[in-house]
Amino acid sequence: MLRFAQGRKRFSDLSEREILALAISAEEDDARIYAGYAERLEADFPATAAVFREMSREEDGHRRALIAEHERRFGPTIPLIRREHVADYVARRPTWLLANLPLDDIRAEADRMEDAAARFYEAAAQRTSDASTRRLLGDLAEAERGHKGKADVLEETLLTPDARGEEDKTARRQLILTLIQPGLAGLMDGSVSTLAPIFATAFATRDPHTTLLVGLAAAVGAGISMGFTEAAHDDGVLSGRGSPVKRGFASGIMTTVGGLGHALPYLIPDFWTATLIAFAVVVLELVAIVWIQNRFMETPIGRATVQVIVGGALVLASGILIGGG
């Protein structure tokens, strides 16, 4: 811990001038973060973007008040001190890590920022001996605490029920395109395409250990293949399907899960016990796929059942026939 704090001051060691300078730089950073949120959300969530633009303007107002107080007490030259220069000061996550967060997570991150800023001003007010500065810092702490309420007021004003409903639809559509659709494709591929090799091996060898090894190889290999294919074939810029890395992981992981589901029962040494459990797992996997298609992709339940259950049954039967023959 000491190694990581080397070269940085603790908050308790800062002078009053340095506290004001830190507050100025922190307000500038927060204003830029909110402005970045607004720009990032403008195209798909214009009402929420308007909320963040207003919050950015408020942070700019706080910064100007702090600069005026610094000039009154210490003159126009503001020391260079930032969050990363203070060992025990709360850090902000880099904005690029938040770029693809869901809308509600971005709003929650903004709430955490305001809470952290309020705690800083409350601690800073206790460290200053100047009545005017203490009053300003106390007012800013109260303002930061009140930002949650202000954000709610702004949302009521700018984020009307119709606007919020439209933004929620956009967020849901993005979730489906980025995670659910590639994950569903992976689950279908892993659950169905591995049926034939796993059950062909099972009925050809009647050896659970060999079947398990083949199932693991098929599931992991299919997962790697599907993950790379999904990530490589579309960067998401023109299609609007979102991060290729997220889509690749969703597809690859769900493909592997789908294959492992009916491979892992062969950990059981008794062949028929393992096979009957594997059959039950296959049924559960196919029913889950039908439900996901109906729930998120709005595929009629009858069509989804024919596509998945009948198709899966044909692949399963082919594996059993080939292995048993």
| Tokens coding 17 | 């001038």
Model pLDDT, residue 147: 67
* Residues 203 and 88 reside in one and the same domain: no
Average the pLDDT over 221-231 and give the result: 85
For residues 204-208, average pLDDT: 90
Q: How far apart are CA 190 and CA 187, in angstroms?
A: 5
Residue 96, pLDDT > 70, answer: no
Q: Which of 141, 159, 177 is the last residue of a domain?
A: 159
Q: Are residues 17 and 155 in the same domain?
A: yes
317 and 178 in one domain?
yes
Question: Are residues 75 and 12 part of one domain?
Answer: yes
Same structural domain, 318 and 227 = yes
At 87, give phi and psi (nearest 5°).
Answer: -65, -40
**Measured torsion, CA atoms of residues 154, 160, 161, 165, in degrees rounded to the nearest 10:** -100
Most confident of 4-8, 152-156, 275-279: 275-279
pTM: 0.50
| Average of per-residue pLDDT values in the chain | 81
* Mean pLDDT score, 54-71: 91
Inform me whether the pLDDT recorded for 152 exceeds 60.
no
* pLDDT, position 166: 60
Residue ranges making up the domain that contains 171: 165-324
pLDDT at 100: 58
Number of domains composing the chain:
2
User: What's the average model confidence in pLDDT over 307-312?
Assistant: 82
Taking the C-alpha atoms of residue 17 and residue 4, their distance in angstroms, rounded to an integer, is 25
Percentage of the chain exceeding pLDDT 70: 80
- Alpha helix positions (H), 75-180: 103-127, 131-158, 161-175
Q: Which residue has the higher pLDDT, 212 or 316?
A: 212
Q: Per-residue pLDDT tens for 122-131?
A: 888 988 889 9
Model confidence at 120: pLDDT above 80? yes
Q: Give the pair of three-digit tokens for residue 71.
A: 């000039």
* Residue, of 143 and 235, whose pLDDT is higher: 143
Report whether pLDDT(3) > 50. Answer: no
CATH of residue 61's domain is 1.20.1260.10
Local confidence band at 99 (pLDDT 50, 70, 90 cut-offs)? low
Q: What is the pLDDT of residue 24?
A: 93
Q: In terms of domains, do 189 and 311 share one? A: yes
Is residue 270 within 8 A of residue 276, CB to CB? The reply is no
| Joined tokens for residue 243 | 């991060």
